[in-house]
Structure 1
Amino acid sequence: MKVIGVTGLPGSGKGVVSRVANKLGIPIICMGDVIRDEAKKRGEKTGDVAVELRKEYGEFVVAERCVETIKKYFNTKDNSPKNKIMVKSNIFMVEGIRSQYEVEIFNKNFKNFKVIAVHSTPKTRFKRLKRRKRPDDSKEKSEFLLRDKRELNFGIGNVIATADYMIINEGPIKKIKGIVRSILENEMQNDSKGKGKSNRRSG
């Protein structure tokens, strides 16, 4: 079993990586969904809940919940229509890693855990968020900057800096998808051989 994590500030293009992975048959868990589901239960804003959860249960909480889900699906191999995640391979993707604490949890549970970082300029990211219009997306520049500050306080900068792969998402979407596909196919091939490579930069 191999797990690949994806990190990047809001609007950087983590979803692009996930969509390419999905087409390759790689199941995906979005760490943000853990926060959004909890926010819905509490009737609170996602940003507030992201901070509250970590204060209440520790910095590892979101990663630990994702690890439980991954192990559940790999262990049961339950591909029934009722399941949201269809296990088609021995590779799993986790989108939205925000801290070294989370990287530590995934490293502890999954051998040869790798991280793909996606980077875009603040100007590009803000434009994308305004177009995307998800409920928790920043509509004002001040909100955007506050969200970035919160993410950086979690430690996402260190995760990006130490990632195994770096993708600069400023060019044509077709080119970015090609880079992502190349990385994932390389990891899938290495997984089948029981080998792994790291510290490669792309962009």
Structure 2
Amino acid sequence: MPGSGKTLFANLLREKGFYVISMGDVLRKRYEKEAKIGERMMDFAKRIREIYGEGVVARLSMEEITPTMSRIAFEGVRSLAEVEEFKRLGNPIIIAIHSPPSLRYQRMISRMRPDDSKNIEDLRRRDLDEIRLGIGGVIALADYIIINDSTIDEFKKRAEEVILRITK
């Protein structure tokens, strides 16, 4: 879910030699080229999924892969349809990062990203939009779940344990 710590986890993967493809960045590139005037990013995401299928962002993300990349992670999987697309590459390992909503909302309000609302009701609405896209199924079927409800150092420790398991 937004504000859970996905980007921090992705940075830890990069430090371990993974090439990380941010599905959000891939979607933003497409949004900048094709969004209708005044269209919110979430509405754009829903629209292209209606046009091209539920796995479209995964397919666009896989286009970013080059032959020199060996260990690849995709940050920001939102649906089981996307997981199915990634299965064309092999057997994906799903790692979910979970944080309580109140903590995620505090993080999003303080981090000042342009696509984050500063209004709690908008953040709750965004959560519901994410759930409608299917993120709950991805979390429920995750191979690993890292709880991010404490300090950054504690999260890093938990994340390192999972990274060690998946790289053995």
Q: TM-score range by the shorter chain?
A: over 0.9
Distance 2:135 2:60 in 1: 19
Report the TM-score when normalising by structure 2.
Answer: 0.93
- Residue 63 in structure 1 maps to residue 42 in structure 2: no
> Tell me, what secondary structure is at the counterpart of 2:24?
helix
Following superposition, the deviation at residue 45 of structure 1 comes to: 2.4
Following superposition, the deviation at residue 35 of structure 1 comes to: 1.8
- 2:26 maps to which residue? 34
Distance 1:126 1:160 in 2: 19
Query: Which amino acid letter does the alignment assign opposite residue 152 of structure 1?
Result: I
- 1:188 maps to which residue? 167
Distance 2:102 2:158 in 1: 22
- 2:74 maps to which residue? 94
Question: Matched residue pairs, number?
Answer: 165
- 1:166 maps to which residue? 145
CA RMSD of aligned residues (A): 1.3
Distance 1:172 1:142 in 2: 26
Within a 5 Å distance, the mapping from 1:22-171 to structure 2 comes to 22-41=14-33, 42=35, 44-70=39-65, 73=66, 75=67, 77=68, 87=69, 90-107=70-87, 109-171=88-150
Distance 1:30 1:15 in 2: 9
Report the TM-score when normalising by structure 1.
Answer: 0.77
Query: Which amino acid letter does the alignment assign opposite residue 99 of structure 1?
Result: S
- 2:156 maps to which residue? 177
Q: Is the CA contact 1:91–1:188 (under 8 Å) kept in the aligned structure 2? A: no
Which ranges of structure 1 fall in alignment gaps of 5 or more residues? 1-8, 78-86, 190-203
Query: Which amino acid letter does the alignment assign opposite residue 147 of structure 1?
Result: R
Query: Which amino acid letter does the alignment assign opposite residue 105 of structure 1?
Result: E
Following superposition, the deviation at residue 40 of structure 1 comes to: 1.5
**Structure 1 vs Structure 2: percent identity of aligned residues?**
39
Distance 1:142 1:38 in 2: 27
Higher strand share: 1
Query: Which amino acid letter does the alignment assign opposite residue 16 of structure 2?
Result: L
Cα deviations by residue, 1:46-105 (Å, 9 ceiling, x for unpaired): 1121111101111110011112222xx1x2x2xxxxxxxxx4xx2111000010101111
> Tell me, what secondary structure is at the counterpart of 1:69?
coil
Following superposition, the deviation at residue 121 of structure 1 comes to: 0.8
Following superposition, the deviation at residue 178 of structure 1 comes to: 1.7
Following superposition, the deviation at residue 111 of structure 1 comes to: 2.1
